[in-house]
Chains A and B, each alone.
Chain A
């Protein structure tokens, strides 16, 4: 099993371009970057991959023990980067992958040039002891796990091959429906627990890589105060508030997302 087949790695763009690695969050797979990543492929070596247990990753790559913690996913990120021998990497992580990228950059800082965190949260649960607001209580996360359980049937129906409303986007063809958000419900539950019960606040201080934090409006998963917290606790970061609402600006506002990343990188060229 090569690193490419393990994580369904797709590389586009010039071989000698600066590597730009896009990582998807909880819930879906690399299709999340479909409207953003291609915009960088003219000058960056764009690398897409699926986390273990998601999308087209090799089922054998998923290890319930190792992937019970985000550190396990971060190890995978480092092995993808080392396996492809990438240096000077711009790592773009959405949602939980923002923190996975932070953990990877803390472990192998020599490989990373910049982190881009889209909707990051170092801890989703509130922590009354320290006054930290993550946005969620334990009962909310239990509600999510229950929701995943009761959407077992509904979710497989959502993966059905019928695509409606994509007539003007032929590139979202059969290949997409086959792979999009394909996941074992049991792995989804475990990934949900690893994500939403994690506490990586202390890891922020270990990150020396310059970071762009992209904060959406009205993001219930990573609210404004959390984005600010991340920005405050990173050694070197810039916080950009986006007009885009919700948690997935990579899908809902690809123009704004790509432009924010691009102008950040251009200013540091």
Chain B
């Protein structure tokens, strides 16, 4: 495991964008070597695929490109291994790098030449697989940890993918337009298969393959380097390499052999290549840096304690009481409002309790509950308000005799019937239902009236019903005799009541 004290870059946390910019800068600094490392494995594979394709025929030429594309992690592995060693002060030669890459072939085939080949985070996870060398289960957890924050690796893939294929097909198109313009005009995409199999299209296929190889070689260093620095950036964030490095390396190391990597460290935060170059050109040498450090250590301020005073507000003591005068004015009103609210609350509680008691009373005593059948009007009336006793003359006998004399037998019997009822109701303080019929009235008075009154009332009802409902005119003598009986049964009692009232007065 590499020691952090051998780190050749100045570690500090950067954003994903800054890390990718640094990756592009680093790739440019080592571009040629990185391209060679990439081609070292890609060309043999390309030739092998081409040979395989030549053996099977030109019709499956695109399959050759696909097979070659599938082995891209194999070509990228030397670049990654070279950068990882250079980061920790170990500069590998091309041969050593390829040799080291060969030793990782087994792991590479088991990890990246499976479905993981399609992972857009390939460049980000190379470090986990080939540097940390964690077991498979821990590797997944580690990768998840790295991806816990946005690393923008998908954007890196998109950018590199577009640059690569735009470049490839731009070259093809340019070459075709310059040298094979006639062939382009004659190309019929509907007869693509026939065109591919024709000898005339073979130069096209070769040109397309070669341009794809060249485009991939040109873009690959940027992709792998940017992915590697994304990985390093995440480790710096997670493991605080910057703090640890500062503690361990107060003094710059002398005798560093990899000056270029030191220069790279200072250029990581720069996205503009020209600015990075300026920084590199103005970079101080290790000797002059050592002098600066000695100067800083000799300074009397170094290691001293600086005391800073921060104001702390004490509202209890520092607050100006005059500022509270406004609240003092409100103090009395607030108290009044609180008292009113408190009184309203008590009133509400009292109303609630009363309603509760009322509800419980009705619930427990259904007989006092106002039923659904109850109405505003009374169903039972006394003598003064009962419909049967309304519009009756004071002197019933005189009125009946008068009506009988006029031949109004029905009206005379009606006055006698209703007058008898009123007399009994008044005499016995009896209430009768508004809808009471003749038999209801007879039943009502049965329990209170005298026998004479009941007999007279019964006979009266019979005559009245025959006259009123049966349309059977009753003899005048019968009605006259009823008037006489009425006098005996009801007038005497009426006079008694009147006399009693007079004596009381």
Same assembly: no
